[in-house]
């Protein structure tokens, strides 16, 4: 029963990883941008949520409704005015620019808000759970996060495959120049993709903040999990990202069952095995 | 379009090229590989910025307009190599052509009427289509924008002659809707057959212009290969 419990918790944790990773996957799939500041933006979102919670006295879930749209706008502007300019120069410049953003965010948070670790007060939600059987209880918090992750991924999938703008995103991902030839404003479409990516990373950042404490330097460690989820699942595939997140989550929780310090390592090992055996990921697919 | 000069680094791809295109007219641009034909079309579409010269539409200077805005004003390119979107189905490839939402007679049903085989394969990924079918989708995709000026780059590239002929035979149907067509073609015979006027491009300069029936084959050959007029013209191999 201990193992069943571990697997269930692992799957739920995997939902959070998938939510966190899908923005990374989207930005790479559409713009070929590896956003090294992805984890730092998640931490920034958590700090922003904390400010919203203490400032407006709203519960943590409501803060996400403020932070996510705000981050969407930030994402559009960051793409149009910073990342696009580096894309026009070279892919390597883009990598350096996002690395620079990562350092700027970390140090600005450190300077302004100190190195003290914080956490988001999720109140009664943190300990509330429902009993499935005598040995298996599931926390509401992790179920909500998992549900949000699934809704976001399904919504994103539907948007990309059905909506007019989603079709433009796929076209721009396929062939940027051909997209401009058919009248797509590629820079705007890239901005939209970044806006979606940033809104999802904000949601993930708030969820991380509810699960565990965070400090200004927490971003890069988390970024590794997002990379692992994307690579395990297959770059550019949203279902793959969900599968990758779940596999990573289950590996980590099972690993920590064996030994409390073995959890993160188990995740890394699974990642390495997938990378060695199937480098294209479990679901190698395009954005559709 | 007047005095257009385009450079790639130090290489001058086009030198002082001028031409006009009227509604309902087909103009062919012929020339050898590397003569600058594709560069010319890409410059008109806004994919290359010229170092000198202007591109005008109805007298309005559009030289500084980005590609997607030119599409919105009715200048649409059928690019060399088709450049369809592999992750989109046939129908989605057509639908994305309607991105600028220009009013006109072309829509998915209209394109299916022009190419009836498309209707039953509308949900197919385009990678499963033959070269000729893909070229037809590329044309359909461009028509979806209801172009005023259709720029067609190397329609014949990699296609069987019969397929090329069939594709060119539908041009009159397009011209009847009042659009102007600028063709770039290596297949000289095909280009001269369908065009009202033709220009020959050699090393980035126009070396010969005229109506196809006024152009003597020897002159075309000389302009195409850059041979001196006179006795030498006869020795060109074509």
A48-68 pLDDT per residue, tens = 999 999 898 888 888 999 999
Residue B157, domain extent: 23-36+66-235
Flag whether residue B84 sits within 8 Å of chain A, measured between CB atoms.
yes
pLDDT band at A186 (very low <50, low <70, confident <90, very high): very high
CA distances from A141 to A18, A124, A242, B140, B172 (A): 16, 10, 19, 51, 66
* Interval B6-25 mean pLDDT: 80
pLDDT band at A288 (very low <50, low <70, confident <90, very high): very low
What's the CA gap between A214 and A231, in Å, rounded? 25
Mean of all residue pLDDT scores within chain B: 85
Chain B residues close to A174, C-beta within 8 Å? 85-88
| Three-class SS state of A13 | helix
A186's CB contacts (< 8 A; 6+ apart) are A172, A176, A179, A180, B68
Would you say residue B79 lies in a domain?
Answer: yes
Long-range CB pairs of A84-90, under 8 A, 24+ apart, other chains included: A84/A187, A84/A190, A84/A191, A87/A31, A87/A33, A87/A190
What's the CA gap between A260 and A252, in Å, rounded? 10
User: Closest partner residue to B87 among A182, A184, A286, by Cβ?
Assistant: A286
What's the CA gap between A242 and A271, in Å, rounded? 14
CB B86 within 8 A of CB B79: no
The CATH number of the domain holding residue B216 is 3.40.50.300
Residue A3 scores a pLDDT above 90: no
Flag whether residue A93 sits within 8 Å of chain B, measured between CB atoms.
no
Highest mean predicted confidence (pLDDT) among A112-121, A180-189, B11-20, B50-59: A180-189
pLDDT value at residue B234: 39
User: What percentage of chain B carries pLDDT values higher than 70?
Assistant: 92
Flag whether residue B81 sits within 8 Å of chain A, measured between CB atoms.
no
pLDDT band at A121 (very low <50, low <70, confident <90, very high): confident
CA distances from B93 to B99, B135, B157 (A): 11, 12, 20
Would you say residue B13 lies in a domain?
Answer: no
Residue for token digits 């400032």?
Answer: A55
Domain count, chain B: 1
Would you say residue B12 lies in a domain?
Answer: no
From B230's Cα to the closest Cα of chain A, the distance in A is 43
Which residue intervals of A79-218 are DSSP H helices? 84-89, 91-113, 140-162, 164-174, 176-181, 186-211
B64-101 pLDDT tens trace: 899 999 999 999 999 998 999 998 999 999 999 999 88
Q: Which domains does chain A have, with CATH numbers?
A: 2-277 (1.10.3470)
pLDDT band at B53 (very low <50, low <70, confident <90, very high): confident
pLDDT value at residue A285: 53
User: What percentage of chain A carries pLDDT values higher than 70?
Assistant: 97
pLDDT value at residue B174: 81
Percent helix, strand and coil across chain A, each rounded to 5? 75, 5, 20
Residue A86 scores a pLDDT above 50: yes
Two structure tokens written together for A88: 């026009």
* Interval A253-279 mean pLDDT: 89
User: Closest partner residue to B87 among A181, A184, A288, by Cβ?
Assistant: A288
Flag whether residue A177 sits within 8 Å of chain B, measured between CB atoms.
yes
Q: What is the ipTM of this complex?
A: 0.86
DSSP A80: I
What's the CA gap between A56 and B75, in Å, rounded? 52
Flag whether residue A181 sits within 8 Å of chain B, measured between CB atoms.
yes
What's the CA gap between A261 and A121, in Å, rounded? 26
CA distances from B103 to A219, A231, B98 (A): 49, 44, 9
Q: What is the pTM of this model?
A: 0.88
């Amino acid at each position: 029963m201990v193992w069943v419990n571990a697997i269930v918790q692992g799957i739920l944790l995997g939902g959070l990883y998938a939510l966190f990773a899908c923005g990374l996957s989207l930005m790479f799939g559409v713009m070929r941008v590896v956003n090294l500041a992805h984890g730092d933006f998640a931490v920034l979102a958590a700090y922003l949520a904390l400010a919203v919670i203490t400032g407006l006295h709203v519960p943590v879930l409501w803060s996400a409704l403020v932070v996510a749209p705000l981050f969407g706008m930030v994402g559009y502007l960051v793409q149009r005015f910073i990342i696009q300019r580096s894309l026009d120069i070279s892919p390597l410049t883009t990598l350096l620019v996002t690395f620079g953003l990562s350092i700027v965010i970390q140090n600005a948070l450190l300077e302004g808000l100190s190195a003290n670790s914080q956490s988001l007060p999720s109140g009664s939600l943190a300990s509330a759970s429902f009993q499935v059987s005598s040995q298996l209880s599931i926390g509401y918090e992790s179920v909500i996060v998992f549900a949000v992750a699934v809704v976001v991924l399904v919504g994103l999938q539907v948007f990309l495959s059905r909506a007019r703008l989603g079709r433009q995103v796929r076209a721009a991902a396929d062939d940027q120049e051909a997209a401009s030839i058919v009248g797509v404003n590629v820079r705007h479409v890239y901005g939209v993709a970044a806006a979606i990516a940033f809104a999802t990373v904000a949601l993930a950042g708030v969820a991380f903040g509810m699960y565990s404490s965070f400090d200004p330097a927490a971003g890069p460690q988390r970024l590794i999990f997002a990379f692992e989820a994307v690579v395990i699942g297959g770059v550019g595939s949203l279902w793959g990202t969900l599968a990758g997140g779940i596999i990573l989550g289950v590996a980590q929780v099972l690993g920590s069952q064996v030994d409390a310090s073995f959890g993160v390592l188990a995740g890394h090992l699974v990642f390495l095995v997938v990378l060695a055996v199937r480098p294209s990921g479990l679901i190698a697919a395009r954005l559709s | 379009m007047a005095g257009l000069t385009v450079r790639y680094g130090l290489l001058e791809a086009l030198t002082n090229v001028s031409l006009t295109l009227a509604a309902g007219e087909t103009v062919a641009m012929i020339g050898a590989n590397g003569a600058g034909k594709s560069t010319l079309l890409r410059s008109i579409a806004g994919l290359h910025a010229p170092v000198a010269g202007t591109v005008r539409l109805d007298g309005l200077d559009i030289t500084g307009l980005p590609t997607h805005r030119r599409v919105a004003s009715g200048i649409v390119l059928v690019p060399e190599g088709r450049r369809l979107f592999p992750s989109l189905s046939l129908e989605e490839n057509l639908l994305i052509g309607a991105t600028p939402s220009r009013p006109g007679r072309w829509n998915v049903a209209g394109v299916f009427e022009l190419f009836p085989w498309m209707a039953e394969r509308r949900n197919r990924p385009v990678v499963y289509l033959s070269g000729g079918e893909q070229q037809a989708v590329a044309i359909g995709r461009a028509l979806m924008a209801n172009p005023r000026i259709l720029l067609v780059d190397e329609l014949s590239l990699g296609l069987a002659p019969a397929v090329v002929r069939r594709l060119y035979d539908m041009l009159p149907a397009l011209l009847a809707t009042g659009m102007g067509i600028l063709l770039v073609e290596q297949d000289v015979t095909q280009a001269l057959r369908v065009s009202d006027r033709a220009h020959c491009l050699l090393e980035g300069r126009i070396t010969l212009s005229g109506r196809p029936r006024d152009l003597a084959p020897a002159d075309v050959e000389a302009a195409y290969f850059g041979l001196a007029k006179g006795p030498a013209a006869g020795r060109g191999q074509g």
